[in-house]
Structure 1
Amino acid sequence: MQALIGTGVALVTPFKKDFSVDTEALVKIVNYQIDNGIDYLVVLGTTAESATLTKSEKELVIRTVVDANRGRLPLVLGVGGNNTNEVIEELQSRDFSDFVAILSVSPYYNKPTQEGIYQHFKAIATMSPKPIILYNVPGRTGSNMLPATVHRLAKEFDSIVAIKEAAGDLVQAMKLLQNKPDNFLVISGDDMITLPMILAGGSGVISVIGEGFPKQFSQMVRLGLERKVDQAYELHYALADAIDMIFEQGNPAGIKEVFKILGLSENTVRLPLVNVNQGLADKLCEFTKTLNEK
């Protein structure tokens, strides 16, 4: 899965001030990623506020991204949930011809055991028409998919090709990397530890900060993969404050504020999320202007 090496971004769903989906802004955001060096796009992940989108809105987002992309970058579609049968039904009914893989989150809220997580993804792996990227994000799901479970799935199912690892635990990431199958990709889902994960053997990132500052972040990832460590860390530290800021008051409120500053979209989010406060908005504005002047 060479298409998944490098920098992917988890696209937001931009909304107008009336909270409707802003397709014109979404087209701008897609082009902004492509023009600034991003390697692939992830549609309808957590950052897309997919939990607040209706079925018809999700279809609108998919069509808009596919049409705007025009085959220029590989696309990954988020298909996951805490109802295994429902996920399988979507896998069986949807046309995935425009996508190279699916991103499937570990079941949330139910808090399954490791065996439950394994059985969930086993069921998905046997039915998926596309390669699967596992998604471990304990801060959102309430359960941690342990390295032993990931390795078990990766070794038993050829369709499971990668994991987006977002536990924020570098030791756990290193354990994933230490014993993974040779052709299995470990992708960072945590922007702050992306570079050390790459240098330890990771394959890249599915990023949030990367869609706000795609040129700088994708170059950092590229330099890391090339083992140009000093140059890569120079970019890492140039972006580190922004990484903290965009998550300080919730995702995607922070990155949407950056898009407003860049003139790409409104900063509108849907409840229960709210906009960042004015103090954080001012700090993000100052950072963005300073970085773009360099």
Structure 2
Amino acid sequence: MEQLMGTGVALVTPFKDDLTVDTSALERIVEHNIQGGVDYLVILGTTGESVTLSKAEKQLVMDVAIRANAGRLPLVLGVGGNNTAAVIEDLTTLDLSEFTAILSVSPAYNKPTQEGIYQHFRAIANASPKPIVLYNVPARTGSNMLPETTVRLAHDIPNIVAIKEACGDMIQIDKIMKEKPEDFLVISGDDFTALPTVLAGGAGVISVLGQGLPAAFSKMIALGSNGNTDEAYEIHHALLPAMQLIFEEGNPAGIKTVFETFGLCSAGVRLPLMEATPGLKKRIADFLKSFNRVHA
């Protein structure tokens, strides 16, 4: 799955002032990332506020992203949940012909055992017409998919090709790296661990901040992948304040503030999320002004 190497970005779903989907803004954001040099686009993930979108809105986002991308970059679609049968229904009824792979999150809220997580992913991988990228994000799901489960899935099921690992623990990431099949990709799911994961042998990142600053983030990952550690860490350290700022009041409130600052979309999010506070918006804008002055 070389198409999933490098910098992927988990795109927001932009809203108008009335909180309906802003299709024009989504087109601008897709173009912003393509021109910024990212390697692939992920839609309808956590950052895309998929849990507060209707089926019709999800289809609209898919259609707009496909049209705006126009075949230029690989597309990955988020299809996950804590109802295995419902996930399988989506995978077998949606038109997935334009997508390279499916990103599927480990079940949240019902806190399955490791065997339950294994059987969930086994069932959806066997039903999916597209390769599956596992997504482990314990801070959101309430349960951690352990390295042993990830490696077991990677060895047992050919249609499971990668993991987006957002545990935030390099020891866990290193263990997966050590025990995985050679062609199984380990992708960072945290902006903070993106460069360390690449330097440890990972395939890249699915980033939140990267969609706002695609040129800088993509350059950092490319430098890290090519072994240019010092240059890569210079960019990492320059981006570190933004990584902290955009998650300070939750995701995607922070990254939507970045886009609002750039004039690409509004900062609106749907309840129960809240738009970033004026104080945070100012600090994000101040960072972007300073960063662009140095790194433009």
Give 2:13's aligned residue: 13
- How far residue 177 of structure 1 moved from its aligned partner, in angstroms, is 0.6
Give 1:161's aligned residue: 161
Separation in 1, partners of 2:185, 2:53: 30
- How far residue 291 of structure 1 moved from its aligned partner, in angstroms, is 1.2
Separation in 1, partners of 2:193, 2:86: 33
User: What one-letter code is carried by the residue in structure 1 that aligns with 2:52?
Assistant: T
Q: After superposition, what is the alpha-carbon deviation per residue over 1:81-119, rounded to whole angstroms, capped at 9, x for unaligned?
A: 000001111111111110000000000001000000000
- How far residue 275 of structure 1 moved from its aligned partner, in angstroms, is 1.1
Separation in 2, partners of 1:241, 1:176: 28
* TM-score for the superposition, normalised by structure 2: 0.99
| Deviating 4+ runs (over 6 angstroms) | none
* TM-score for the superposition, normalised by structure 1: 0.99
Give 2:266's aligned residue: 266
1:242 aligns with 2:242: yes
Give 2:84's aligned residue: 84
SS of the residue aligned with 1:126? helix
Give 2:208's aligned residue: 208
Give 1:220's aligned residue: 220
Q: After superposition, what is the alpha-carbon deviation per residue over 1:33-90, rounded to whole angstroms, capped at 9, x for unaligned?
A: 0000100000100000011101110010000000000000000000110000011111
User: What one-letter code is carried by the residue in structure 2 that aligns with 1:101?
Assistant: A
SS of the residue aligned with 1:220? helix
- How far residue 142 of structure 1 moved from its aligned partner, in angstroms, is 0.5
Give 2:94's aligned residue: 94
- How far residue 292 of structure 1 moved from its aligned partner, in angstroms, is 1.2
Over aligned residue pairs, what C-alpha RMSD do you find? 0.5
Separation in 1, partners of 2:52, 2:93: 21
Give 2:119's aligned residue: 119
- The equivalences for 1:277-292 within 5 A come to 277-292=277-292
Q: After superposition, what is the alpha-carbon deviation per residue over 1:207-255, rounded to whole angstroms, capped at 9, x for unaligned?
A: 0000011000010000000010000000000000000000000000000
- How far residue 136 of structure 1 moved from its aligned partner, in angstroms, is 0.1
SS of the residue aligned with 1:176? helix
Q: After superposition, what is the alpha-carbon deviation per residue over 1:242-281, rounded to whole angstroms, capped at 9, x for unaligned?
A: 0000000000000000000001000000100111111111
Question: Once the two structures are aligned, what percentage of the paired residues are identical?
Answer: 61
- The equivalences for 1:18-97 within 5 A come to 18-97=18-97
Separation in 2, partners of 1:50, 1:126: 23
Across the two proteins, how many residue pairs are aligned to each other?
294
Q: After superposition, what is the alpha-carbon deviation per residue over 1:170-213, rounded to whole angstroms, capped at 9, x for unaligned?
A: 11111111111000000000001111111011000000000011
SS of the residue aligned with 2:47? helix
Separation in 1, partners of 2:186, 2:160: 11
User: What one-letter code is carried by the residue in structure 2 that aligns with 1:42?
Assistant: V
